[in-house]
Structure formats: C-alpha cells, structure tokens
C-alpha cells in the first residue's frame, strides 16, 4: 500500500478499501456492447499516463475505475485513485517504470484479462525496443508472439499505440504492428494508450484509439 503515506493517515487506506467493497457489492450492471450484456450502463474511467511528477496534481472528482497506461509512479496511481474515489485500479508498466511488481490494490493487466461488472479489460506493457537495455522494451516480433491468441476484450490498455496511430517522428515513439493486428482481429471497443505524449482520439477499423498524456476521463456507455 506504499504511496498512501502522502495522505498522512491509515484512514485513507481504510476508506479506499471500503469504497472497493461497496462497489463490488453493488456492481456496475453490465454494458451495452458485445454479447450477453445486461443492458446499458455508464462506467467512468480516470485514465492517467506519462506523468513526470512525484505527487498527484490533477485535482479531485468521481470515477469508477482508474486506468494507468504506464510511466506513472505507484504513489501517483494510488493518490489519483483516492482523489477520484475509484474502487478499482488497472495498470500496465511503461518503459520508464520500475521493474518491481505493482503494490496492492493495483492490478497488473499485462497479458491478463479482468472482467469487471461485465466489461472485459486486457492489457500490454512496454514499448518499442529503442535502446539495447531497459525495462519493458520489446521488438515487434516479441509483441506479435505475446498477442498471438490473446482473447477479445472490451477495453484494451496499452503503454504503446498501434503502429501508424499517434506515432511520432522519432525512433522512440513508434507503435506496435501487432497491436494493429490485434485490433483488426479482436475489435475491442476502446484501446487506450500512453507513451506517445498525445491527447488524441482516432478510429482504427471499429476501435476508438485514445491517446492520453497526463490525465483524462473516459465514459463507457
């Protein structure tokens, strides 16, 4: 639970856990997309990415789930979740993140699928191998192998973008080809990413690709 020390009391941790328990009991009722859903529902996400700071300075608000797309300290992830009353935290690592595992209650989405209230989340950490050494750096072939057979989800969370979407004209901020192949095959409703330092939305086939730099709220409906 490192990172809550910034709030000064253990009561903050207890309040976070109470929020999570309440949310899990009530549930979010399902989602209009896909098959087998239980009718329309609104799920509000607080998405954060690439925050070069030691404290959360994004204010307060309300959101159901915090999504971290990488290059954000654990402390800021936890502070942001507290500030917005988020009951769940899903995250992937970026190329500037520590190799240590996320502390609880942060859930690592890398190559995992989590069903929350009928909404399926999946994720992929890291970026293009732009230097010989470092954490969470992958060749294009690596990502192709990792995503081979990865199941369809509603919301895919990635540090990097699909190649050709939100790329920058340098050798660092280059997307993954296999992410574009995954979108074509699995057709997630949303793909949310960081790394490229853009705040932009682009339609890729049937998927809305959302680039986030800093923080952004996204509502699923």
Mean pLDDT of 162-178: 84
Instruction: Tell me if 140 sits within 8 A of 178, measured CB to CB.
Output: yes
Mean pLDDT of 88-93: 97
pLDDT at 134 (0 to 100): 67
- Residue 103 carries which DSSP code? P
How far CA 67 is from CA of 52, 106, 177, 193, in Å, comes to 17, 10, 23, 10
- Report the alpha-carbon distance of residue 66 to residue 79 in Å, rounded: 11
Topology at the third CATH level for domain 4-220: Purple Acid Phosphatase; chain A, domain 2 (3.60.21)
Burial 153-182 (b: 16+ CB within 10 A, else e): bbbbbbbbbbbebbbeeeeebbbbbbbbbb
3-state class (DSSP) for residue 143:
helix
pLDDT at 21 (0 to 100): 31
Instruction: Tell me if 91 sits within 8 A of 113, measured CB to CB.
Output: no
**pTM of the complete model:** 0.80
Highest mean pLDDT among 77-91, 125-139, 166-180: 77-91
Mean pLDDT of 183-195: 97
In the numeric block, the tokens 């290059």 are attached to: 71
**Nearest in space to 192 (alpha carbons), one of 218, 167, 163:** 218
Mean pLDDT of 60-68: 98
The pLDDT mean for the chain works out to: 82
pLDDT at 37 (0 to 100): 44
pLDDT at 97 (0 to 100): 84
Residue of 62 and 131 predicted with greater confidence: 62
- % pLDDT > 70, the chain: 79
Instruction: Tell me if 208 sits within 8 A of 220, measured CB to CB.
Output: no
pLDDT at 131 (0 to 100): 66
pLDDT at 40 (0 to 100): 57
Contacts of 183 (CB under 8 A, 6+ apart): 156, 162, 191, 204, 205, 207, 209
Residues 30-44: pLDDT tens digits?
A: 333 333 444 556 899
207-211 sheet: strands from edge to edge: 113-116, 119-124, 155-158, 190-193, 207-211, 200-204
User: Is the confidence at residue 107, as pLDDT, over 70?
Assistant: yes
Name the band, by pLDDT with cuts 50, 70 and 90, for residue 168: confident
């Amino acid at each position: 639970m490192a990172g809550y020390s910034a709030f000064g009391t253990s009561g903050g941790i207890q309040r976070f856990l109470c929020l999570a328990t309440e949310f899990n009991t009530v549930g979010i009722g399902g989602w209009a997309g896909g098959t087998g859903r239980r009718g329309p529902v609104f799920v509000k996400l607080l998405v954060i990415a690439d925050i070069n700071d030691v404290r959360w300075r994004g204010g307060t608000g309300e959101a159901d789930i915090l999504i971290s797309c990488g290059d954000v300290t654990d402390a800021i992830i936890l502070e942001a979740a507290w500030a917005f009353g988020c009951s769940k935290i899903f995250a992937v690592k970026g190329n500037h993140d520590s190799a240590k595992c996320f502390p609880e209650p942060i859930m690592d989405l890398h190559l995992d699928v989590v069903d929350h209230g009928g909404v399926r989340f999946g994720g992929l950490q890291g970026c293009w191998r732009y230097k010989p050494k470092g954490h969470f750096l992958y060749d294009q072939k690596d990502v192709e192998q990792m995503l081979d057979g990865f199941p369809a989800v509603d919301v895919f969370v990635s540090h990097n973008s699909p190649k050709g979407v939100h790329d920058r004209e340098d050798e660092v901020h280059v997307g993954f080809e296999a992410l574009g192949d995954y979108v074509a095959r699995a057709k997630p409703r949303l793909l949310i990413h960081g790394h490229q330092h853009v705040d932009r939305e682009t339609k890729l086939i049937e998927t809305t690709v959302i680039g986030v730099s800093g923080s952004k709220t996204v509502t699923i409906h």
